[in-house]
Amino acid sequence: MLSEIGTRLIHFFARDATLILWDLADIGLVAVILYFVLLLLKGTRAMQMGIGLVLVFIVYQSAKRLGLVTLYTMLDTVLTSLVLIIVVIFQQDIRRALVRFGRKPFFASTGVTMEHQVIDDAVKAATSLAQKRIGALIVFEREGLLEDFIESGTLLEAAVSKELLYSIFIPSHENPMHDGAVIIREGRIWQAGAFLPLTASTKLDRNLGTRHRAAIGLSEETDAVVIVVSEERGEVSLCFNGNIVRNLDAALLRKVLLGLFQKRQKRKTGKHDGADKRDSKERVSRVSAPPPAADPSTDPKESSEAS
């Protein structure tokens, strides 16, 4: 096996230099495409299914080399329709990826000042609602479009402000928008009263209410970040990448949100100094290692909430 690879490499580099450079450019282009495809799938269920398909392909090649005729024939029949299988399994991710091309990242057109203003108003609204024990869901759309994952509410297209966010969630028969989520897109309130998909996870605290399960469900399917305000306990939680961090105060909530958004922007631009790197790592560590009180499995007192 190794000798065969070595022979092929010798033949590859024994050719004309122009052909070698052309092939290396071709390989590099394919590597870049695969890299961006993996970035699109990272943290999603599609990534797990993709790993499963890779394992099936490894078993297929092993069965072929070891002479396992029955297993090889069965897998060969399945893999013949691989393109159709991939389209069926990843249809939502393929559609979302195609829509993303040419789309500006979150806050790209609003600048750092607007980014801080939007996050500050959302944090102030969430903490004020928590003090009054008024339930709320505030969703920040990022790169993944949310149309395919939410039940649309009322279109607003309004500037973000603490007062508007607070008033949307005031419970009243005359206010149908309070019973749902606010979606913030590109620094503006896009929708109010939207309904989110519930998580199917069985590992969560059974006492978590519908709001928390809806927030986790959306963060499992997309890269959205969701602020949840519990009306039973008056606590503020944050959901992202299928995780939930509970019982956050205003300062820590703001720091985590800035860390999530600024980390992604710095990774894309690559323009930050050593102090920014240390600050970003500190923020991410606070997210990845929340205090014990923030673990849903250790807080059995949370009662079930209505959406």
pLDDT exceeds 90 at position 123: yes
The 10 Å CB-count burial string (b at 16+, else e) for 209-242 is bbbbbbbbbbbbbbbbbbbbbbbbbbbbbbbbbb
107 vs 18, higher pLDDT: 18
Residue 111 Ramachandran class (φ > 0 left, ψ -120 to 50 alpha, else beta): left
Tens-digit pLDDT profile for residues 183-231:
999 889 999 999 998 888 878 887 788 899 999 999 888 889 999 999 8
Q: What pLDDT was estimated at residue 149?
A: 80
- In this predicted model, which residue has the larger pLDDT, 99 or 142? 142
Q: What is the pLDDT of residue 136?
A: 94
Highest mean pLDDT among 76-85, 106-115, 220-229, 295-304: 220-229
- Residues 192, 262: Cα–Cα separation, whole Å: 25
Average pLDDT (30-41) is 78
pLDDT band at 294; cut points 50, 70, 90: very low
Query: Across the chain, what does the average pLDDT equal?
Result: 77
Residue 159: pLDDT band with limits 50, 70, 90: very high
Q: What is the dihedral of CA 91, 223, 37, 259, to 10 degrees?
A: 180
Query: Looking at residue 306, what is its pLDDT?
Result: 40
Assess whether pLDDT exceeds 50 at residue 182: yes
Of 76-85, 216-225, 282-291, which gets the smallest average pLDDT? 282-291
What domains can be seen in the chain, in order of their start residue? 2-100 (no CATH), 111-298 (3.40.1700.10)
The whole-number pLDDT of residue 95 equals 64
The DSSP symbol for 181 reads: E
Confidence band (pLDDT; 50, 70, 90) for 235?
A: very high
HSE-CB for 278 with a 13 A CA cutoff:
3
Helix (H, G, I), strand (E, B) or coil at 238: strand
Bigger pLDDT: 86 vs 31: 31
Residue-level pLDDT at 172: 84
Better pLDDT: 145 or 128: 128
Mean pLDDT of 54-78: 85
